[in-house]
Amino acid sequence: MSTDTHVPHPSTDVEMPAVAGDAATEERTRERISDLGQSLRTATGGRYGEVRDLARATLPAEAMVRDPDMSLDEAREWTRRTLATMVEHGAAGSGFPLEQGGLNDVGRSCVDFELTAHGDLSVTVKSGVHFGLFGGAVTSLGTAWHHENVLPPTLSLEQIGCYAMTEYGHGSDVSSLETTLTYDAGSDELVVHSPTPSSTKAYIGAAAADARMAAVYGQLIVDGKGHGVHVALVPVRDEDGNPMPGVTLGDHGLKGGLAGVDNGTITFDQVRVPRRMLLNRYGGISDEGRYESDIEGDNKRFFTMLGTLVRGRICVAAGAAVSSRKSLSIATRYALRRRQFDAPGHEGEVTLLDYLAHQRKLLPAIATCYAHTFALNEVFERLQELHEAPEKDQVAQRELETRAAGLKAVITRFANDTNQVAREACGGAGYMAENGLTVLRQDADVFATFEGDNTVLLQLVAKGLLSNYKEMFGDLDMRGMVQFAARSIGDQFIEVTAARPFVSRLIATAARRSEDETLLERGWHLSMFADREKHVLETVANRLRKNAKDSDSFRAFNEAQDHVLLAARTHVDRVILEAFVAGIEECQDEEARTVLERLCTLYALSSIEADSGWFQEHNRMSAARSKAVTAQINRLCAELRPDALAIVEGMGVPEAWLNSAMLREPERWTPGAGQAQADTGQVQPSAVATAE
Amino acid sequence: MSTDTHVPHPSTDVEMPAVAGDAATEERTRERISDLGQSLRTATGGRYGEVRDLARATLPAEAMVRDPDMSLDEAREWTRRTLATMVEHGAAGSGFPLEQGGLNDVGRSCVDFELTAHGDLSVTVKSGVHFGLFGGAVTSLGTAWHHENVLPPTLSLEQIGCYAMTEYGHGSDVSSLETTLTYDAGSDELVVHSPTPSSTKAYIGAAAADARMAAVYGQLIVDGKGHGVHVALVPVRDEDGNPMPGVTLGDHGLKGGLAGVDNGTITFDQVRVPRRMLLNRYGGISDEGRYESDIEGDNKRFFTMLGTLVRGRICVAAGAAVSSRKSLSIATRYALRRRQFDAPGHEGEVTLLDYLAHQRKLLPAIATCYAHTFALNEVFERLQELHEAPEKDQVAQRELETRAAGLKAVITRFANDTNQVAREACGGAGYMAENGLTVLRQDADVFATFEGDNTVLLQLVAKGLLSNYKEMFGDLDMRGMVQFAARSIGDQFIEVTAARPFVSRLIATAARRSEDETLLERGWHLSMFADREKHVLETVANRLRKNAKDSDSFRAFNEAQDHVLLAARTHVDRVILEAFVAGIEECQDEEARTVLERLCTLYALSSIEADSGWFQEHNRMSAARSKAVTAQINRLCAELRPDALAIVEGMGVPEAWLNSAMLREPERWTPGAGQAQADTGQVQPSAVATAE
């Protein structure tokens, strides 16, 4: 039974098909949401909207929620079983080739990841490591033999794979990995070896218990000559689960979260595999024992191979975005019921969400979640477009890689902040695992450093911008960064920052108005974001160009590092706002559109407020305008308050998937909840004035 | 053996007395720190510096660190045993009366809490609930019979107590608790009862397993008349650990952290206890069965009783502060060794801490930790001064309560942010429990909502300021807040914001200089903080005064809630900066003083930078000055970099207490660590320019 018995909008019952379970379960998984909530889901669905709707209607709630009070062993066993259930429901393998039973849809594979992320993140990460990283490496870096022999047992979960890239000694600097893959012409084998304590493969998902096969990154050495980092498939366990000879496997045990993922270490002592185990799409060894590759230059080849990381980064961003939507769903649903103090004259009416400070904690964050949803929809679609394209457009590929890196950094940072805000917004109840927030926050935490450190990723974004997407992705040598800047010219950025026709049009309209009139104008918001990006990028280019005279390239780069990071962040912010605006353009439902416009304004003004120091420093905003922005944010919070429940529903997480005790038993947390009282009972929006 | 074999300053060996354990243990707990590190510890020691030094030299590392990979039951058992060890080492009970074996030193009791917080926080919280909250309530709210009969078995751990205040339905609004304590004249007993599902006592530490006696907060009803919230002692378990008749005990199981604390629920079904079980210092029941109290008015009496919460809030702030010092100690020690990329021309030299972005993550946070240490030292001392004073100074008491509430809110918020920053600054390693960051972060999280929700506490601070400390603490009715403002006059704030002679002197000196000269002047920093507070406070008072005409006091208050919170926060920031400046005045060591001055400037400028939007909006800072602040922060980071290790040592956490695998085995995380290399090898500070 839904606990929201009083919804402000006409309701739509989404009947879920019966899943294994009793009547109570069916009752619990039948979702009843408002028409506005449904319209918002439709508006945010994008190309894969129907895939999402289907999942919400068919994935059993039991598979989505784990009892947090499990031992590591129990959690791992539960995760194994649940992953199998998910696979039965078709939530994996979409990115595999048609020939091997996939859908050849890499955009959809990201949506699969996103959907599993609505449940327990251990299952999501376990799935992502096996299908996305391991399966993705075999698909992208391997050739026919690998596809035919390795993908089928991967898709059936018969043979679990792991992705052995990171070493204790090298995380971000992948090109310096120490593991060696040495070709022995005599036996026609590769010898896989860990030469130092720091070359041990570390934090590898599935290494501690389940993996049978590893995709191992290491320096390929043929005839005494190094050819840079390549990947070889190496069996790490036999059919009985025992380590293969020469392979030492360790268990990381407890982590910050993700109890169900068996992360571990792998050390190789002169382990031999046949030559064909090298994933040789971009570089391999001929029958004559010679190294051969279509790509000249170890670096270029290596970064082409790393380009396959793009999907992993998009997935991580999507998973983090779901965690924010979930935590805000829990906190907002709670705030709609919870009363903290009785307000004189409003006995029993004022809930937590009526407080301005509480609105300020939750509503701008929800607006940001909507913004991220639209930005992610764009990259899902773009990923598949480029995948389908007959000709590879290298600049478009670099741009997508840049965007994936930037969204990953910004969205995971936001998730870690937001999940903590949501937990605190629920008081002591937020700290109890049964209410669904703490495990979620602990699990999502990993995304901050998983698939690339956020600081490093933002630097890659800056490099992409400074080189106008002409340089290979992944290479973060400081000398390079400084040199690109030295070559770049200011005008190129204009093109970058006004890529979409509607943006130019809206900006031009706003430019003809006076400051007094533009606070709510989308064109003004867009121009503030675009102008901030352009100015920061131009000035950092100038600065690096000046620094390039310094013979010490580390110093030349490091002196401007904070500026470089700001350039990347302001770029990502602009991309996100434009995606939000483009998404609203597609929305047909008038009521939903009105709400989306308000959310978009709230997102834009919150970003401008957060950077009000910068905007004033650079004469982009007067002191009076800065104060007006703050007052307008408060006003928007009051305007959105009556639709809060529908807006939460629109984020797309069915209440049953939230698994929150305090939402199931409101009578405990809401004195007098037995009496008839509307969940959305709200106080008249207050007059809004400026903090002076 | 210390892993820091190359320290930049002459070293002092602090020999620890042998504790039960082998030679390896002794070796590990012998701390070797630099002279500068020792001087910084001395400078930050305050009145209780020697207590802290002794603890560092005597508390066994074994008692400080828990294997994170324990089940809930194992963690609870370990926590019980470790608490007993801590008590043997004298780390509890300092606040108890001399007659019952305490030291009658409530300031020191906060330092005891702080010291245990260097270890596992489950032990700290378990100790805090038993000795601080339960023992503190008996000491402060009870009379001779309670002291004589309840405190001795409390001090000996023979009878574990719990503090049953919060209910599911009421956390922040304690005066509305639903539990009833009804006097039955016929039997001369109190009847303790939970009338609704929402009146169940919730999140109560020690309720799930260990507590035998509860201090129960409830509405006292005598002869049919309510007298507001009082506290009664109620046995909840018999000697065999079974629940007493009428008492239902629940177990919250897994939480966001604090695995060793057995939080649970308590429900009372007409439970009877003798009349003398009422803690009757401020209000009780006479032999004739009549209610009697020296304090007129239920509200005033209740808030006098709540004044005893002040120590709990100071302890929570101190515990959170320690968590930040620990997480930053781990992250900075790691950053001093870890290399991410090789920098051209600096092969093997550049560590993570040489990057500007990394310095920016860690060094301003460390400066803030130093600021918080000085501010906490002041409240420890003030708490004991007021406790020792023969006459109660009500205004001084209110001021201390205000300060405790404010520091609790600001320091716990900072801790949650900082612990996450530290974890992310260690990359994937930061997510592994063995490296010491995740458990620490999860445990410290509770402080955000424990002993008062931070938003509510900041509102209490604002109320204290608006009423000039004349109103009782704890009462957060909105009508009251608006009315105080209506009565207040602007001039009073001048007194509040210039309470210390040296502050006025320094501000006057800076005022005679031009803007170009004052960036590094302490007087300019102090005046910026004081002026920000004064302006925000005056304008919020004006605004509330204007709003007071509104008949709807909720709306009148709520409309300005963000402004109210800003007033509180800017007040706390000013108090903290002044404590830092006062602390430096006391420092005799010249080298330590130089470092402290830099840290203080870094703290002040970071706060100004974070609020640069506000300062520019209000014409307190020009655009040029705002840019100069950013550049100066970068310059200070470079200046502090060479002393980073000593500055970390100065925060006072022995490396052995950090229990971090990656600090014990640097060869894994640092390729080439086997070669001779200085930990503090650093690149020439770079020229610093302004981000344009």
A–B: how many Cβ contacts below 8 A?
326
Q: What is the percent of chain A where pLDDT is above 90?
A: 69
State pLDDT tens for residues A145-157.
Answer: 999 999 999 999 9
Among residues A114, A451, A533, A655, the one annotated as catalytic is A451
* Average pLDDT value for residue range B274-298: 95
Residues B70-76: contacts with CB under 8 Å, at least 24 apart: B70/B259, B71/A71, B72/A69, B72/B253, B72/B254, B72/B259, B75/B122, B75/B259, B75/B260, B76/B209, B76/B210, B76/B259, B76/B260, B76/B261, B76/B262
Within 10 angstroms of residue A569's Cβ, the number of other Cβ atoms is 21
- Element (H or E) spanning A357, and its range? helix A356-388
Within 10 angstroms of residue A58's Cβ, the number of other Cβ atoms is 14
Q: Which of A433, A479, A634 sits opposite B562 (nearest CB)?
A: A634
> Which comes out higher in pLDDT, residue A683 or B187?
B187
C-alpha torsion B661→B663→B665→B668, nearest 10? 100
Six-digit token string for A260: 């169900």
Find the range with the poorest average confidence among A668-672, B78-82, B418-422: A668-672
B356 interaction partners in chain A (CB closer than 8 Å): 558-559, 561-562
State pLDDT tens for residues A348-399.
Answer: 788 999 999 999 999 999 999 999 999 999 999 999 999 999 888 888 888 9
State pLDDT tens for residues A253-278.
Answer: 999 999 999 999 999 999 999 999 99
Residue in chain A closest to B614 (alpha carbons) equals A613
**Would the pLDDT of B575 be above 80?**
yes
**Would the pLDDT of B680 be above 60?**
no
Find the range with the poorest average confidence among A324-333, B28-37, B215-224, B391-400: B28-37
The owner of tokens 């005597």 is B58
Strand pairing category for B213-222 and B291-292: unpaired
pLDDT of residue A234: 98
pLDDT of residue B349: 81
Within 10 angstroms of residue A235's Cβ, the number of other Cβ atoms is 17
> Which comes out higher in pLDDT, residue B679 or B471?
B471
Farthest-apart Cα atoms in chain B, separation = 90
Distance (Å) of CA A452 to CA A173, A308, A312, B179: 10, 13, 10, 52
A621 interaction partners in chain B (CB closer than 8 Å): none
Distance from CA of A416 to the nearest CA of B (A): 8
Q: From the centroid of its chain, how far is CA A100?
A: 27
A606 interaction partners in chain B (CB closer than 8 Å): none
Could A256 and B689 be called an inter-chain contact, meaning their C-beta atoms sit closer than 8 Å? no
Could A256 and B442 be called an inter-chain contact, meaning their C-beta atoms sit closer than 8 Å? yes
> Which comes out higher in pLDDT, residue B687 or B448?
B448
B199 interaction partners in chain A (CB closer than 8 Å): 671
The owner of tokens 């959170």 is B320
**Would the pLDDT of A8 be above 60?**
no
State pLDDT tens for residues B212-240.
Answer: 999 999 999 999 999 999 999 999 999 99
**Would the pLDDT of A10 be above 60?**
no
Six-digit token string for A295: 């790509």
**Would the pLDDT of A21 be above 80?**
no
Residues 6+ apart with CB under 8 A from B546: none
Cα(B228)–Cα(B195) distance, rounded to whole angstroms?
A: 16
Q: Which of A345, A552, A619 sits opposite B554 (nearest CB)?
A: A345
**Would the pLDDT of B1 be above 50?**
no
Which of the listed ranges A91-105, B148-162, B287-301 does the model predict with the highest average pLDDT?
A: B148-162
Find the range with the poorest average confidence among B23-37, B191-205, B267-281: B23-37
In degrees and rounded to multiples of 5, residue A6 shows phi and psi of -125, 95
ipTM rounded to 2 decimals: 0.92
Cα(B74)–Cα(B79) distance, rounded to whole angstroms?
A: 8
Q: Which of B255, B478, B665 sits opposite A431 (nearest CB)?
A: B255
* Average pLDDT value for residue range A428-456: 95
Q: Is the dihedral of CA B415, B416, B421, B424 positive or negative?
A: positive
pLDDT of residue A27: 47
The owner of tokens 């004589």 is B148
Could A562 and B634 be called an inter-chain contact, meaning their C-beta atoms sit closer than 8 Å? yes
Which of A342, A343, A336 lies closest to A359 in space, CA to CA?
A336
Distance from CA of A108 to the nearest CA of B (A): 28
**Would the pLDDT of A331 be above 80?**
yes
pLDDT of residue B143: 96
Could B543 and A689 be called an inter-chain contact, meaning their C-beta atoms sit closer than 8 Å? yes
State pLDDT tens for residues A567-577.
Answer: 999 999 999 99
pLDDT of residue B682: 43
pLDDT of residue A499: 59
Cα(B291)–Cα(B296) distance, rounded to whole angstroms?
A: 12
* Mean pLDDT for all residues in chain B: 88
Contact between B572 and B410 (Cβ < 8 Å)? yes
Could A612 and B617 be called an inter-chain contact, meaning their C-beta atoms sit closer than 8 Å? yes
**Would the pLDDT of A580 be above 70?**
yes
Could B172 and A341 be called an inter-chain contact, meaning their C-beta atoms sit closer than 8 Å? yes
Q: Which of A69, A617, A672 sits opposite B626 (nearest CB)?
A: A617
* Average pLDDT value for residue range A288-306: 88
In the structure, how many helices (H) and strands (E) does chain A have?
Answer: 29, 13
Residue of A562, A565, A632, A684 to mutate, testing the B interface (most B Cβ within 10 Å of its Cβ):
A562
Which of the listed ranges A304-313, A512-521, B288-297 does the model predict with the highest average pLDDT?
A: B288-297
Contact between B329 and B263 (Cβ < 8 Å)? no
Q: How confident is the model at residue A673 (pLDDT cuts 50, 70, 90)?
A: low
pLDDT of residue A7: 30
